[in-house]
Amino acid sequence: MAKRDFYEILGVSKTATADEIKKAYRRLAMKHHPDRNTDDESAEARFKEAKEAYEILHDEEKRAAYDRFGHDGVQAGAAGAGGFGGAEGFADIFGDVFGDIFGGGRGRGAGPQVFRGADLGYELKLDLETAVAGDTVTIDVPTQVGCTGCDGSGARKGTTPTACTACQGTGQVRMQQGFFSIQQTCPACKGAGKTITDPCPDCHGRGRTRKTRTLSVKVPAGVDDGDRIRLSGEGEAGRNGGPPGDLYVEIRVKPHKLFEREGSDLSCEVPLSFVTATLGGEVELPTLDGHVSLKIPLGTQSGKVFRLRGKGVATVRDPRVGDLFARVVVETPVNLTNEQKELLGRFEESIRAGGDKHSPRAGGWLETVKRFFERISQ
């Protein structure tokens, strides 16, 4: 009988992360462990199947071999041959599960727990030109850093913390509940494994102080609103010697006076005089690279969009430069003199004398309105 696909057994995709694979296995192992299913003879087989799949897929080398060669690429059956007694009992297998639930951990070795520092977020506002061209900018980030007064120990300089008497310095305590043996974070020292009797006056025993740090951020060319830049290890300091977190810089592009951006394309509005729209001509059009000349045909209507290829921007994901879309808006003259008004009046008379050939849209619209009223009056 052909063996089932390991990914199918765990119910994860082939692109699943190590954490997703681990969570899927824990869920299945909890569900099918024989100690919890004494009346179900098939539970042991399903548990072994899940255990074998997990032990192959959580190992990078074995997983790579399995992805390439299938079951022939791994030692079939080796993972599921261990049975359920002794070191493979229910309590031992799930010690790390319950340790995570209650704040502790198993399989990490005896000793105080270390805690990774928190990740931080920072909103970086850029103008459009900087986002398109890229730059190196400096930012000030308030964060928790290791206390220099006690070198992060939390104890006053010249003193040292003492081992926690509740957990004997391990940072963890074990609780027995029936056949469960649960290891969890020591509530007395909160996993530190130590007690500070004379705290550092600078950090009050926390081992960390708040400080504003100045960092340089290299902004790649083409970033857009909502993009994030990860600065590894620039987050908050860890506790008990744990590693620092990361800093995520989120880009916010400020509105531009001329352009709107959508991906690699730019758009803008171009005001056009009544005369230029009627007789045609050329106008100077701004781009991020300088000015270009835009040719306006005779009789251009307001709202007409011109496309200038290659005058947009490139993005961090695509080096191809987009286009610039220029939408013309014909301006109505204002603040006219009496002479100008008189000239426009004579011009209007000459336009009307020509019928619909000068204003085809207006003529068509009037005819549509006329037919509409004729229908509703019937």
The Cβ of residue 313 has, within 10 Å, a number of other Cβ atoms equal to 25
Digit-coded pLDDT (tens) for 206-237 = 888 888 889 999 999 999 999 999 999 998 88
Name the 3-class secondary structure at 30: helix
- Look at 338 and 211; give whichever has higher pLDDT: 338
pLDDT over 60 (residue 322)? yes
Please, which pLDDT band fits residue 144 given cuts at 50, 70 and 90?
Answer: confident
Burial code (b: 16+ CB inside 10 Å, e: under 16) for 130-152 equals bbbeeeeeeeebebbbbbeebeb
Digit-coded pLDDT (tens) for 263-286 = 999 999 999 998 999 999 999 999
Q: Which domain holds residue 41?
A: 6-93
Per the prediction, the chain carries an average pLDDT of 82
* Structural domain includes residue 111: no
- Domain tally, the chain: 4
Please, which pLDDT band fits residue 287 given cuts at 50, 70 and 90?
Answer: very high
* CATH code of the domain covering residue 280: 2.60.260.20
If asked whether residues 188 and 280 sit together in one domain, one would say no
If asked whether residues 13 and 60 sit together in one domain, one would say yes
* DSSP label of 332: P
**Does residue 175 contact residue 103 with C-beta atoms inside 8 Å?**
no
**Does residue 214 contact residue 137 with C-beta atoms inside 8 Å?**
no
Can you tell me the distance from the alpha carbon of 3 to that of 108, in angstroms, rounded to the nearest whole number? 33
With a CB cutoff of 8 Å and minimum separation 6, the contacts of 164 are 171, 186, 188, 189, 192, 193, 194, 195
Please, which pLDDT band fits residue 67 given cuts at 50, 70 and 90?
Answer: confident
* Structural domain includes residue 100: no
Digit-coded pLDDT (tens) for 42-61 = 888 888 888 888 888 888 88
If asked whether residues 246 and 136 sit together in one domain, one would say yes
Residues facing residue 286 across a β-bridge: 291
* DSSP label of 356: G
* DSSP label of 141: E
If asked whether residues 155 and 243 sit together in one domain, one would say yes
Give the residue carrying structure tokens 């708040």. 210
Burial code (b: 16+ CB inside 10 Å, e: under 16) for 275-289 equals ebbeeebebebebbe
If asked whether residues 15 and 42 sit together in one domain, one would say yes
* CATH code of the domain covering residue 228: 2.10.230.10
pTM metric for this prediction = 0.57
- Look at 318 and 69; give whichever has higher pLDDT: 318
Over residues 358-373, the mean pLDDT reads: 66
Kindly write down the DSSP assignment for every residue of 220-243, as one continuous string. Answer: -TT--TT-EEEETT-SPPPBTTPP
> Which among 73-87, 178-192, 363-377 has the top mean pLDDT?
178-192
Q: Which long-range contacts (CB under 8 A, 24 or more apart) does 306-311 make?
A: 311/266, 311/287
**Does residue 251 contact residue 220 with C-beta atoms inside 8 Å?**
no
If asked whether residues 192 and 277 sit together in one domain, one would say no
Q: What is the pLDDT of residue 358?
A: 66
**Does residue 38 contact residue 85 with C-beta atoms inside 8 Å?**
no
If asked whether residues 154 and 233 sit together in one domain, one would say yes
pLDDT over 50 (residue 96)? no
If asked whether residues 246 and 273 sit together in one domain, one would say no
* Structural domain includes residue 192: yes
Domain final residue pick, 228, 253, 278: 253
- Look at 301 and 89; give whichever has higher pLDDT: 301
Can you tell me the distance from the alpha carbon of 79 to that of 124, in angstroms, rounded to the nearest whole number? 49
**Does residue 225 contact residue 255 with C-beta atoms inside 8 Å?**
no
In this structure, which amino acid lies at residue 161? P
If asked whether residues 39 and 12 sit together in one domain, one would say yes
Over residues 140-164, the mean pLDDT reads: 85
Over residues 81-108, the mean pLDDT reads: 41
Over residues 300-326, the mean pLDDT reads: 94
Kindly write down the DSSP assignment for every residue of 59-103, as one continuous string. Answer: SHHHHHHHHHHGGGGS-TTSTT-S-SSGGGSHHHHTHHHHHHHTT
If asked whether residues 134 and 82 sit together in one domain, one would say no
If asked whether residues 231 and 320 sit together in one domain, one would say no
* Structural domain includes residue 298: yes
Domain final residue pick, 54, 78, 93: 93
- Most distant pair of Cα atoms in the chain: their distance: 106
**Does residue 117 contact residue 242 with C-beta atoms inside 8 Å?**
yes
Helix-helix angle 43-57:60-69, to 10 degrees: 100
pLDDT over 90 (residue 164)? no
pLDDT-above-70 percentage for the chain: 82
* Structural domain includes residue 55: yes
Domain final residue pick, 236, 253, 270: 253
The Cβ of residue 70 has, within 10 Å, a number of other Cβ atoms equal to 13
* Structural domain includes residue 29: yes
Which one, of 308, 318, 264, lies nearest residue 287 by Cα? 308
* Structural domain includes residue 144: yes
With a CB cutoff of 8 Å and minimum separation 6, the contacts of 57 are 6, 7, 10, 16, 21, 63, 66
If asked whether residues 61 and 145 sit together in one domain, one would say no
Please, which pLDDT band fits residue 97 given cuts at 50, 70 and 90?
Answer: very low
Which one, of 1, 108, 5, 109, lies nearest residue 56 by Cα? 5
* Structural domain includes residue 345: yes
